[in-house]
């Protein structure tokens, strides 16, 4: 590493530069085109620098994936804020935020469910936090208290919502929807126009279907009113 490059980095800024270079490389080439050497070259440091901060390639990828889940959590929480007190609107806006995150950080998004160190505690905590926001949103749809287990039909609704936004995001960043979107430059506008209405239709249908499938609540049995006693006839 040259003295000029070395003096321009502090510990934190070099770490961030390596993460940024990884994000850029993943967005351009995917995991197959990733290498520590190329990350170092893009960051203007020696090939040993990434290993010094992250241990190995998996360590660097795991760090980026952890940041990705943290960012996704923030995007989902921002969706909650936009939705306000309406449970359906909160879930719809979570979905909008999910897809928007994928468009803004395609490299991170592709990595999040890829070959990272799944035993890493930091990654596991960040992944759980993101999923919990989504799960609590579904609890809100059906009046389930936070932390309470979902019924099977409610779990199906959760997986259905997640699958739609996750699949739509991958189709967008993969270019499969560029024709209706008008090319890569139109992806954000296309997502903004499509995701909210698409999810609204799905959520309306899911809520109706789950409510219809729920067993009817038994009406509380009211105690019988005491019967008036007939006046006793006097004996003769």
The per-residue pLDDT for range 45-87, each reduced to its tens digit, is 988 888 888 888 889 999 999 999 999 999 999 999 999 999 9
Residue 233 has pLDDT above 60, yes or no: no
pLDDT in tens, 198-222: 999 999 888 887 777 666 655 544 5
pLDDT in tens, 126-173: 999 999 999 999 999 999 998 899 999 999 999 999 999 999 999 999
Q: Which of 69, 150, 175, 80 is nearest to 116 (CA)?
A: 69
Distance, CA of 23 to CA of 2 (rounded, Å): 24
pTM of the model: 0.81
What backbone phi and psi angles, to 5 degrees, belong to 125? Answer: -65, -45
Kindly list the structural domains of the chain, giving each domain's residue range(s) and its CATH number in brackets, ordered by start. 7-55 (1.10.10.60), 64-212 (1.10.357.10)
Distance, CA of 209 to CA of 232 (rounded, Å): 59
- Find the Cα–Cα–Cα–Cα dihedral 120, 122, 128, 131, rounded to 10°: -110
């Amino acid at each position: 590493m040259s003295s000029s490059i070395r003096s321009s980095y502090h510990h934190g800024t070099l770490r961030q530069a390596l993460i940024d270079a990884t994000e850029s490389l993943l967005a351009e080439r995917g995991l197959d085109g990733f290498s520590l050497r190329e990350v170092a070259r893009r960051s203007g440091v020696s090939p040993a620098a990434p290993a010094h901060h992250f241990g190995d390639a998996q360590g660097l990828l795991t760090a980026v994936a952890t940041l990705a889940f943290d960012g996704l959590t923030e995007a989902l929480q921002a969706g909650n804020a936009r939705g306000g007190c309406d449970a359906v609107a909160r879930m719809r806006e979570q979905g909008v935020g999910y897809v928007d995150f994928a468009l803004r950080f395609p490299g991170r998004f592709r990595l999040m469910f890829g070959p990272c160190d799944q035993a890493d505690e930091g990654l596991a905590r960040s992944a759980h936090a993101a999923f919990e926001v989504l799960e609590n949103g579904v609890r809100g749809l059906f009046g389930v208290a936070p932390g309470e287990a979902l019924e099977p039909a409610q779990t199906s609704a959760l997986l259905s919502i997640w699958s739609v936004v996750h699949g739509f995001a991958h189709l967008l960043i993969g270019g499969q929807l560029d024709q209706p979107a008008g090319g890569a430059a139109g992806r954000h506008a296309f997502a903004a126009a499509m995701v909210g209405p698409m999810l609204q239709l799905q959520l309306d249908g899911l809520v109706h279907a789950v409510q219809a499938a729920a067993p009817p609540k038994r009406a509380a049995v009211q105690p019988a009113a005491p019967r008036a006693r007939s006046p006793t006839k006097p004996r003769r």
